[in-house]
Structure 1
Amino acid sequence: MTLIYGHRGAKGEAPENTLISFQRCLEHGVNRCELDLHLSRDGELMVIHDPTLKRTTGLRGKVIEQDAADLVRHDARLGGPGWRQPCPIPRLSELFERCPFEHWQLEVKSASKTRSVQLVKAIDALVKRHGLEQKVCITSSSREVLRAAQQLAPHLQRGLVAEYAWLDPLKVAKHYDCQLLALNWTLCTPERLLKAQKQGLHVSVWTVNEPALMRRLADFGADSIITDFPGLAVRTLS
């Protein structure tokens, strides 16, 4: 059976990477999610896709330049589906407290060696505090991030985010001892899928929003899909 992950919560239905978006995902009975992380200036894990605030809040500046207490006051509903109430940027700790997902893909964008170490250490500490060691996977397309995760938090699952075919994703995933492969749907051929699964990888395909594609990937035997429309995915695959 193909599992469903909500992409940034339920990105197609509510403002991405906000509490309301993750709650909407859970309301559909989808208890797995994917989200994006950046560090605040004071070292807290903030749930936001871009390194800058502009696209989702309309404000100037970088996430890393502001403290968490200021970031959580910013309204992040810009650019998504229309929403009447303000939707603040959440701390990851708030989502861990309020959203009972059974599995989380925590994506870390490319980062310097130092930043990668800081991010992985922060994730590890927070995951331990909430007792979620068996329920999270640190995912990234960045070798620096995967290396840091492999060295500093080997007890947590790792996942390679693969968007382009020019790097052999299976080879890279094996090198960093990954358990999950987050594969762009354009790269998901039946052959590659089978080869990855034989390598012991859970293959999670993104971003899958069309019912016909959802069904096709399920027929291929994809382990999971990541979608902006978890409600539609439930109706299509049930």
Structure 2
Amino acid sequence: MTTIYGHRGAKGEAPENTLASFQQCLGHGVRRCELDLHLSADNQLMVIHDPSLKRTTGRRGKVVEHSAADLATYDARKGGPGWVSPCPVPRLEELFEKCDFEHWQLEVKSASRTRAATTVLAIREMAQQFGLLDKITITSSSREVLGAALELTPDISRGLVAEYAWLDPLKVAQNYDCNLLALNWTLCTPERLIKAQRQGLHVSVWTVNEPALMRRLADFGVDSLITDFPGLASATLENR
């Protein structure tokens, strides 16, 4: 049975990585999500995809140059689907408080060794506080991040984000003792999928927005789909 993850909440329906987007996802009955994390200047976990503020808030500078309190006042509606009310950049803590997801893929972008360590430890502390240790997977394409997670937060599951096939993703996933593989859908051949699942990996493919592709990947037997349109995905897979 293929499950559905909302990509950055419901990126195709509401401004990505905002509370409105995650609420939209839950509104479709989709109770799994994927999001991106960066640290603020004061080491708070902020939910935003890019290291820079430009694309989603129109502001200058990098996330890491601003305090969490300031970031929480910036409107992140820019460049997304139209939305009536302002959508601030959320803290991860706010989403943990307000959104009842059964599983979270928390993607940590590449970081220096020190920042990777700070980030995974902050995730662990926050997840423990909310009793979510068994409901999250720290995912990354960065070896620094996966290495830090394996070493410092071994009790939290890990996932490799694989966008390109130049390195064997299955080997890399094995090296960091991952149990999830977030695979770019273009890399998801039936052979690679079967091999990954035999290796004990949950294979989550992204970003899948076309109904025909959703059906095809579900027929292949992928464990989950990450989509900008969780409502559409839910309707598509229910009708099979």
Amino acid at match of 1:167: L
Q: Distance in 2 between matches of 1:24 and 1:169?
A: 32
SS at match of 1:134: helix
Q: Distance in 1 between matches of 2:77 and 2:66?
A: 19
Q: Give identity over the alignment, percent.
A: 76
Alignment of 1:192-211 (within 5 A): 192-211=192-211
Q: Distance in 1 between matches of 2:105 and 2:93?
A: 15
Deviations 1:116-174 (A, max 9, x none): 01101110110111110110000000000000000000000000000001110000000
**Corresponding residue for 1:112?**
112
**Corresponding residue for 2:52?**
52
Q: Distance in 2 between matches of 1:223 and 1:215?
A: 13
**Corresponding residue for 2:11?**
11
**Corresponding residue for 1:95?**
95
Number of matched residues? 238
Q: Distance in 2 between matches of 1:133 and 1:156?
A: 6
**Corresponding residue for 1:222?**
222
Confirm or deny that 1:231 pairs with 2:231.
yes
Amino acid at match of 1:134: D
Amino acid at match of 1:13: E
Confirm or deny that 1:37 pairs with 2:52.
no
Q: Distance in 2 between matches of 1:43 and 1:129?
A: 17
Q: Distance in 2 between matches of 1:90 and 1:221?
A: 34
**Corresponding residue for 1:162?**
162
Alignment of 1:50-199 (within 5 A): 50-199=50-199
Q: Distance in 2 between matches of 1:161 and 1:34?
A: 12
SS at match of 1:125: helix
Deviations 1:24-81 (A, max 9, x none): 0000000000000000111100000000100000000111011100000000000000
Amino acid at match of 2:94: E
Deviations 1:160-211 (A, max 9, x none): 0000011100000000000100000000000000000000000000000000
Q: Distance in 2 between matches of 1:94 and 1:83?
A: 20
**Corresponding residue for 2:27?**
27
Q: Distance in 2 between matches of 1:75 and 1:189?
A: 39
TM-score computed with the length of structure 2 as normaliser: 0.99
Q: Distance in 1 between matches of 2:42 and 2:72?
A: 13
Give the superposition deviation at 1:84: 1.2
Amino acid at match of 2:143: R
Amino acid at match of 1:92: L
Q: Distance in 1 between matches of 2:95 and 2:77?
A: 17
Runs of 4+ in 1 over 2 A off after TM superposition: none
Aligned-residue Cα RMSD (Å) equals: 0.3
SS at match of 1:166: coil
Q: Which runs of 5+ in 2 are unaligned?
A: none
Amino acid at match of 2:14: A
Q: Distance in 2 between matches of 1:165 and 1:43?
A: 33
